[in-house]
Structure 1
Amino acid sequence: MEAKNSYKCFNENKSIEELKYNMLQFKTRIEEEIIEYKFYKNLLEASIYKSKTINLFENLEKYKKGINATEKEALELLKEINLHSNSITNKIECQDLFCDNFFIKGHDKLEEKTQKFFIECTSFKIQLFQYLESVLKG
């Protein structure tokens, strides 16, 4: 039986530095994804495919649309991460438990959203790679 990759949060007892570091790691990974997707766009535009592949153009267009949608989602996620990273220092100013819990819940939601994004990216890339492997000139 395969284990499901589901989100678990462990942020309640983390320091401000740990929270900031985690957000920086997410930001870096998303920026790397954006660079990767730019390469995939170029790859999809190249003339390196078998000439008589059924629905080649349509399938390449489908993947281009997926790349564009993922890039847009990545940029929106980067904005959220940057805003959240800037607000992490506000956690220091929280003196009551309600404020602290509210902040941690927001952090957890963003972390879960980011994890789901990375899982979706991996799934998309696996599909793309499998398709490209089948249509590349040998």
Structure 2
Amino acid sequence: MIKQIKHKTFSRDKSIDELHYSTEKWSAELDFSAFELSFLRQLIKSYPYKNTIPNLFENIQLFMKQLDKIEGELPLLIKEIRNHNNQLEGKLECNDVSCDDFYLDEYNQLSENIFDYLQDYKNLKIEIYSFMRGIIPNP
């Protein structure tokens, strides 16, 4: 498991361009995650393992379920990012602090959701890599 850190946001002083940039970075990271998830699924299914491992099939099934869960969350997060990115233009029309706060609160919540998703995903990858390290035959 990787070190757990708490999400912090520093968005109060960010410009619209900086907020857009952050959402584009999130999109790119989630796009890469989708590609990587597909690879992990293929790797796990390929069975390049020693067959004498206890509970091999059960562990593989567990990883597949966890990959399904993580992969299933991706489309919603990507949709939320797109929607938020489109809504950021409304922040330009804000004339008061409460309006600005609305957009920043939305940004901060989305930022935390993505942070949590990526933490969960990284922890799953560590579990998979650690397990596979012990079952892949040494050359």
Shorter-chain TM-score range = over 0.9
Counterpart for residue 125 of structure 1: 125
Shift in Å, 1:137: 2.1
Post-superposition CA distance 1:88-134 (Å, at most 9, x none): 11110111211111110110010011111111111111111000111
Q: TM-score, normalised by structure 1?
A: 0.94
CA RMSD of aligned residues (A): 1.2
Q: Distance in 2 between matches of 1:74 and 1:120?
A: 12
Counterpart for residue 111 of structure 2: 111
Q: Distance in 2 between matches of 1:116 and 1:79?
A: 17
Decide whether aligned partners of structure 1 residues 130 and 6 sit closer, same or farther in structure 2, where only a CA change above 3 A counts.
same
Q: TM-score, normalised by structure 2?
A: 0.93
The SS at the match of 2:28 is helix
**Structure 2: 5+ residue stretches without partners:** none
Structure 1 runs of 4+ off > 4 angstroms? Answer: none
Q: Distance in 2 between matches of 1:9 and 1:75?
A: 23
Shift in Å, 1:30: 0.6
Identity of aligned residues (%): 28
Counterpart for residue 92 of structure 2: 92
Aligned partner of 2:52: which letter?
Answer: K
The size of the alignment, in residue pairs, is: 136
Shift in Å, 1:59: 0.6
Aligned partner of 2:112: which letter?
Answer: E
